Every structure is written in C-alpha cells, then in structure tokens.
Amino acid sequence: MNLLAILIIISLFLLWKLEFIATLLNLKTFPSTPPSELDGLMDREKLDRARSYLSINSRFDIIRSVFSLGILLAFWFAGGFPFLDNLARSLAGNEIISGLIFLGILFLAQNLISLPFDYYETFVIEEKFGFNKSTVSTFIVDRLKGLLLAALIGMPLLAGILWIFNEVPNAWIWAWAFVTVFQLLLTYLAPSFILPLFNKFTPMPDGDLKSDIEALGDKCGFPLQGVFIIDGSKRSTKANAYFTGFGKHKKIALFDTLIEKSSSPELLAILAHEIGHFRLGHIKQRLFVGILQMAMVFFLIGLATDPNGAFARQLHDAFMVDKISPQVGLVLFTILLEPASKLLSVIANAWSRKHEFEADAYASESTGTPEALATALKKLSSDHLSHPAPHKLRIVLDYSHPPLLQRLKALQGGKATL
C-alpha cells in the first residue's frame, strides 16, 4: 500500500461522494408544480411520475455505484489483480495470449456483475413507468450479440495493442495510430454491419415526410444517401434520431417511436438540429479533439506499462502486481484515470452544451420555425419524464445537452447559459 494507492483510494471515494451530493441536490431541486413552459404536456400527475422516476433511478444508481466500488476495493485488497495475472500466465506461455485471457476474464466478470442491475433497470424500473418494450429473450440475445461482437472486434484490437506495447519502440505512438484508424474504420462500417444486428432499418417509404426531409437536406447542403426507420419500439417507448456516415454517404435514422409522437414540422426541426452539428463543424471538431485526447491517453498508458519506468513500478506495486505488463497496466491505468476522466468530462460537457445551443439556433434559422423545435423538445422531455429543472452541479457533471428550460429560453431569443 504505497502513496499512489492511497491517492487512488481517496480519489475514488471523493468521486463517489461528489456524485452522491449531486444526486441529492438534484432530487431537492425537483419542482413542486409543473413549469409553465410545459403547459398542456405535463400536469401535476405526470410531474409526480417524473419525480418518482427520478427518485427511483437515483436510489438505484447510488446502490449500483456503492456495489461497484465495493467490488473493486474487495478484489483489489484481496490480491485479485496479481492472482488473475498469475492465473493467466499459467494458462498460456505467450505474453499476448495470457494478456487476452487476463483482460477477457475481467471483461466477462464485469458483465456478469452488471447483468442483474441491467435486468432490474429494464424489467422493473423501465417496466414500471411504461418505457420497456423489450422481452427477456431480446434482452438475452442482445447481450449474447454484444459478447460475440466483443470477441470478434475487441480481441483483435486488444491483441494488436498488446503486441505493439510488447514489441515496438515508442509503442504509445503506434498504438494511438492503430486505435485511431481502427475506430474510424469501425465508425464507417457500424451503420451497415453492426447496428443492423440489434435493430431493423427500414427505408422510409416515399411520401410527403421523406420528400420534406430530402428537401431540407438539399437546402442545408447536406447530401443524403438514405432515410431509414428504426424499430426502436421493439425495446423502448423512448424516441430518438441520429445521423450516420462520412462525406457523401450520410444516412438519417429515425426511431419509429419518434415518428409516431411528432408532427412533420417537429421532425424536420429535430433533423435540422442534427444537420446543424455537421454544418457548424461540431462533428469534425469533436473528432479532432477526441484523437488528440486519445494521444494523451496512450502517452500515459506508455508510462504505466514501461517495464523500466518508476511510475509503472509504483502503479503495479499499488495493486500488489509484481510483473509490469501491458495488460495489467491498461487495467490499472483505467482505474487511476477514472477520477481524472470525470473532471475532464466537465470541460467536454460544457463544450457539448455550447454546441447544442448552436445547433438549436441553426435549426431555428434553417426551418424558420423555432416553435417547432421548442415543441419537439418539450414533448421529448415530458415523454421521457426528464427532470424539468436539474441542479447546476448535476448539469456540470453529466449533462452533455442543456436542460430543457435553458434551451427554450435560448430559442426565444434569450441568453444561452450553462
């Protein structure tokens, strides 16, 4: 138990405490009467349901976070990391294969631990409030597909990273380049080969809505290769929409639940908002910053896995692991990075909220109907039982999108805040 171990433990507890305080403050700020902005969409009964939904989810998140932190500390103090490392090495003499065994066991254990929580969230909480449409068989099949994809995609990626850190000088640079290319390729292939494994994508039939969407794309200089409807109602009543693709190969994916609950002007406003992210350069900016962040992360991973480095030695000693290795270093660095990542996410969330305000303004200008986007946002917030006025600390920590009332104020010409 060296100084670094003590600092990690303190950081993890402080992070948990911060999340706990934010949760309590968020519950305390829930309004007692429906906001006037939601007249006609949220009455007192629905507000009470939203409060209950928030309260139940908050208690569930606290229990889940306490359990996860407890499991981590118990595994750590019981010598789980050196035991698992030695076990993996005894099963395979090859450094890369033993590394994959080590990481694979941790991945499977994490999934097994989270499985009861995921099940309860889906079939108890979401079911209670009428959101869940998934069946047990769909739930199980989705997770089996996820494990299969992790094996087919994750194992080659991890094998490449482990090989680079074991064999290549200046490994962090090459690992960064390898992962960046891999992620870009995966982003390009996912809409055609991965997402359809979980949802059915049906081309939108010809009609006024499709014509209006294509006309909006032309007006905004946003070439579309296709407009698709997703069977989101297979799993949830919650609505969504997104764009996929690069360059001239852009596609629009609309959840069937969104089409069912929205008018044509509202749908066009939502899509104009998403187009705004592309037209204003938000996607490229985030991609560029993400690549730079990845470079910094791999530089630090290089320090955490350097067999001759003082930092790597202290990190492995903190978790009682004798042999410095890329696979163990990756896991330990991830634990070390968690508190720092939360602080960095505060900056990323603030930047994202700024982009959302800008995309709202773009949608308002390009459609000429800010009230359509405002109505769509109100419906989504009301239907999802979202917190009408979340606490500022919760917003700062977790909100990548501005709260509803601030977005409505900005659409009405007010100053964008938060």
Torsion angle of the four alpha carbons 105, 107, 110, 112, in this order, in degrees rounded to the nearest 10 = -70
Is there a contact between 133 and 233 (Cβ–Cβ < 8 Å)?
yes
Q: How far is Cα 36 from Cα 43, in angstroms, rounded to an integer?
A: 10
Higher pLDDT, 378 or 224: 378
Kindly state the DSSP code that residue 30 receives in the 8-state scheme.
Answer: -
- Contact at 8 Å (CB) between 41 and 409? no
Strand partners, 202: 229
What does DSSP say about strands 224-230 and 250-255: parallel, antiparallel, or unpaired?
Answer: parallel
User: What is the residue-averaged pLDDT of the chain?
Assistant: 92
In percent, the amount of the chain with pLDDT more than 70 equals 98
Write down the pLDDT at residue 186: 87
Residue type, 143: R
* DSSP, residue by residue, 128-158: HTT-B---HHHHHHHHHHHHHHIIIIIHHHH
Lowest mean pLDDT among 49-63, 146-160, 206-220: 206-220
Contact by Cβ (8 Å): 304, 312 = yes
| pLDDT tops 80 at residue 46 | yes
Residues recognised as catalytic:
274, 360
3-state helix vs strand vs coil in the chain, percent to 5 = 75, 5, 20
Q: Where are the beta strands (DSSP E) in 100-240?
A: 201-203, 224-230
Give the tokens for residue 362: 């773009």
Segment among 24-38, 149-163, 244-258, 329-343 with least mean pLDDT: 244-258
313 in Cβ contact with 324 (< 8 Å): yes
**Orientation of helix 326-367 relative to helix 208-219, angle to 10°:** 100
Q: Are 22 and 394 in contact (CB under 8 A)?
A: yes
Report CA-CA distances (Å) from 256 to 233, 274, 317, 380. Answer: 7, 17, 53, 14
- How many degrees, rounded to 5, is the angle at CA 396 between CA 391 and CA 52? 35
3-state secondary structure of 388: coil
Q: Is the pLDDT of residue 189 over 90?
A: no
Q: Quick one: 286 exposed, middle or buried, by C-beta within 10 A (0-12, 13-18, 19+)? A: middle
Tokens, residue 258: 């969104």
User: Does residue 415 have a pLDDT over 60?
Assistant: no
Instruction: Give the integer Cα–Cα distance in Å for 344 and 418.
Output: 16
CA gap 218, 220 in Å, rounded: 5
* pLDDT tens, residue by residue, 1-23: 799 999 999 999 999 999 999 99
Distance CA 376, CA 389 (A): 17
Residue 199 near residue 234 (C-beta atoms within 8 A)? yes
Strands 241-244 and 250-255: antiparallel
Mean pLDDT in residue range 312-332: 96
Tokens of 177: 């380049």
Amino acid at 132: N
Query: What residues form DSSP beta bridges with 224?
Result: 250
Task: Give the residue-averaged pLDDT of 66-75.
Answer: 96
Structure tokens at 184: 């870009």
Global pTM value:
0.90
Asked whether the predicted pLDDT for residue 416 surpasses 80, the reply is no
* Coil, strand or helix at 392: helix
Q: What percent of the chain has pLDDT over 90?
A: 73
Contact 261, 236 (CB under 8 A): no
Answer whether 300's CB lies under 8 Å from 175's CB. no
Phi then psi for 227, rounded to 5 degrees? -120, 125
Mean pLDDT confidence for 283-302: 93
Alpha carbon separation from 367 to 114, 192, 267 (Å, rounded): 43, 30, 11
Summarised one tens digit per residue, pLDDT across range 233-265 is: 989 988 788 777 666 667 788 899 999 989 999
With vertex at residue 153, the alpha carbon angle to CA 151 and CA 156, rounded to the nearest 5 degrees, is 85
For the segment 380-411, what is each residue's pLDDT rounded down to a tens digit?
999 999 998 999 999 999 999 999 999 999 99
Give the integer Cα–Cα distance in Å for 106 and 199. Answer: 28
Q: What is the average pLDDT across 76-104? A: 95
pLDDT confidence bin for 194, thresholds 50/70/90:
confident
